[in-house]
Chain A
């Protein structure tokens, strides 16, 4: 008994940083997901010239918490003919996978659960590849036609777009030369450039594929509410539904983190090697001071006493963080400076992930939904060949620049040009074939059965 206790104590003593990070991820990510939903509603309202949620808390700031309470209190329905075990298991799988894959993501130089694993980025990608299973099983277990159609669409889509995402990641990894997450970021520091500039085609294909992987509009046909009610989540309600929902938003954070780590320089500030941009280092402090001042200035205008207090509390937190930045930044006092470096890195990382997710929202409110055949054509006829050609081109470029001593940027421009040329040829060829195919389908539409229609 005593030895077991000692073993546990020793374990905690060795791994307490990692354990703390893991607990923080599990505890904070659902909250962040809730606030992403609030931001999304606010952005949508802004783009549609409305105000969005305003009632709960100042400017609707407490809306996610009210939503969470509502979801927890809802009745938990399980359809009679559903497969009980899998109906229970599928949303849990969805959420677990999304949270587990965050284990290897480096949110800052010190904030990472699995710091030393050699397979780093592969772990994140591989574990989040299990996500489709949760969707398929949930759709099947509901015993509902809408759900099954949604689940099948979703699997087909995820399997196709994972290939593209994989190739896009490879084109970034060829520059970094390692799979370790922290080493990828440090490689970008040493190379003095974000890999999005060296492999623009890879970055754009990854961006598109990651939107499709998270089932977001314009690729949200698995849940297409106007055709399929809600696709695979039709029969889910209450807490189980919110597990799916959290899984989806956690997945957005995961794909955003992969994109930011590999293509946008991870936790580095923009252009970390340019000395005259050094004032950017003060940006986190300024950001927190500015949001604190904003909260103080708005506090007096809140109608209810509780809301005023809340505004004061938020302002106090902002000022405290800003003070920490100011105090710890210049002095290299060991424990304090470490905290500062972690917070500073996390600020830039989260800012970049936020920008990435903002692009997701922006596209969602701008573009109409794809039809299933359009989606498949975009994936298989354009994106996958483009990503493949890009991997070859990047390989040639790295060989040219490291083996033959060619200028790196020249090699990059040549290969990007080549890839874009291939892409344009593909689109042209594709359009021609599509026109021919639609002509022949129209001629024989009475016999041809489109299994994916509807």
Chain B
């Protein structure tokens, strides 16, 4: 009972603030609602007993990426609302995309109707007593079974970071 109350609480916050994030014209307001969405998603992770995912989501997305987002928004001063893009096809495209996404979501729900505890019901958390410690399992997976993909991904990120630094660096004559 309590689990589903918590789930619907966080899910409702996530959906409502996601909608608000798209509809705000002020960039900082959008950023605040994006933060709320991310926090609510983290809350759902916690309700599903995925503690490590919960705190990773908060540290990386909210504490790291969103702080930088807000910082950049402040630097470029997007105070003026962006001019709205008007085109005759805009509404048609929007309706089509919305229908496609809704159809996909409905199809997935229809496919999942047979799986117990799935479909239109809130996902059930794993029983906490049976779970091995979350963080340790993550570490075993990352540095054991999936070591090579993990290292390749981190090297890729490092290359991208070095590339960004090189491109952003001012060219000076003196080395």
A residues with CB within 8 A of B = 7, 11, 83, 85-86, 89, 117-119, 122-123, 125-127, 129-130, 132-133, 136-137, 140-141, 148, 151-152, 155-156, 158-159, 162, 179, 440
Contact yes or no, B55 A126, CB < 8 A = yes
Chain B residues contacting A123 (CB-CB under 8 Å) are 55
CB contact under 8 A between A152 and B133, given known A86-B32, A133-B66, A137-B28? no
Contact yes or no, A83 B28, CB < 8 A = yes
**Smallest CB separation, A21 vs chain B (Å):** 19
Chain A residues contacting B71 (CB-CB under 8 Å) are 136, 152, 155-156
B residues with CB within 8 A of A = 1-2, 26, 28-29, 32, 35, 51-52, 54-55, 58-59, 62-64, 66-68, 70-71, 74-75, 133-135, 174
**Smallest CB separation, A247 vs chain B (Å):** 16
Contact yes or no, A119 B135, CB < 8 A = yes
Select the residue from B1, B52, B67 with max chain A CB neighbours within 10 A.
B67
**Which of B32, B59, B134 meets A137, CB within 8 Å?**
B32
Contact yes or no, B75 A118, CB < 8 A = no
Chain A residues contacting B133 (CB-CB under 8 Å) are 118
**Smallest CB separation, B72 vs chain A (Å):** 10
Chain B residues contacting A136 (CB-CB under 8 Å) are 67, 70-71, 74
Contact yes or no, A11 B2, CB < 8 A = yes
CB contact under 8 A between A440 and B174, given known A7-B2, A126-B55? yes
**Which of B2, B52, B62, B67 meets A119, CB within 8 Å?**
B52
Distance, CA A7 to CA B1, complexed state (A): 9
Query: With A118-B51, A118-B135, A133-B66 given, can you name 5 additional A-B contacts, CB distance below 8 Å?
Result: A129-B64, A130-B58, A133-B62, A148-B74, A158-B67
**Smallest CB separation, B45 vs chain A (Å):** 11
**Smallest CB separation, B168 vs chain A (Å):** 14
Q: In chain A, what residue has the closest Cβ to B70?
A: A136
**Smallest CB separation, B10 vs chain A (Å):** 16
**Which of A119, A125, A162 meets B134, CB within 8 Å?**
A119
Chain B residues contacting A126 (CB-CB under 8 Å) are 55, 58-59, 63
Q: List 9 A-B contacts (CB under 8 A).
A: A7-B1, A119-B51, A122-B59, A122-B135, A126-B59, A129-B59, A129-B63, A152-B71, A156-B71
Distance, CA A127 to CA B39, complexed state (A): 11
Distance, CA A243 to CA B174, complexed state (A): 49
The 3 A-B pairs with the shortest beta carbon distances in the complex, nearest first, are: A129-B63, A126-B59, A126-B55
Distance, CA A123 to CA B57, complexed state (A): 11
Chain B residues contacting A125 (CB-CB under 8 Å) are 59
CB contact under 8 A between A133 and B35, given known A126-B63, A152-B71? yes
Contact yes or no, A133 B67, CB < 8 A = yes
Distance, CA A155 to CA B65, complexed state (A): 12
Distance, CA A152 to CA B76, complexed state (A): 12
Select the residue from A118, A132, A148 with max chain B CB neighbours within 10 A.
A118
**Smallest CB separation, B30 vs chain A (Å):** 12
Distance, CA A156 to CA B70, complexed state (A): 12
Q: In chain A, what residue has the closest Cβ to B73?
A: A140
Distance, CA A284 to CA B1, complexed state (A): 46
**Smallest CB separation, A45 vs chain B (Å):** 37
**Which of B51, B54, B63, B134 meets A130, CB within 8 Å?**
B63
Contact yes or no, B67 A155, CB < 8 A = yes
Chain B residues contacting A179 (CB-CB under 8 Å) are 135
Q: In chain B, what residue has the closest Cβ to A90?
A: B32
Q: In chain A, what residue has the closest Cβ to B53?
A: A119
Chain A residues contacting B134 (CB-CB under 8 Å) are 118-119
Chain A residues contacting B62 (CB-CB under 8 Å) are 129-130, 133
Chain A residues contacting B55 (CB-CB under 8 Å) are 119, 122-123, 126
Distance, CA A130 to CA B65, complexed state (A): 11
Distance, CA A209 to CA B71, complexed state (A): 21
Distance, CA A152 to CA B67, complexed state (A): 11
Chain A residues contacting B63 (CB-CB under 8 Å) are 126, 129-130, 132, 162
CB contact under 8 A between A159 and B68, given known A118-B133, A126-B55? yes
**Smallest CB separation, B91 vs chain A (Å):** 30
Distance, CA A179 to CA B135, complexed state (A): 9
Contact yes or no, B2 A89, CB < 8 A = no
Chain B residues contacting A162 (CB-CB under 8 Å) are 63
CB contact under 8 A between A140 and B28, given known A11-B2, A440-B174? yes
Contact yes or no, A152 B28, CB < 8 A = no
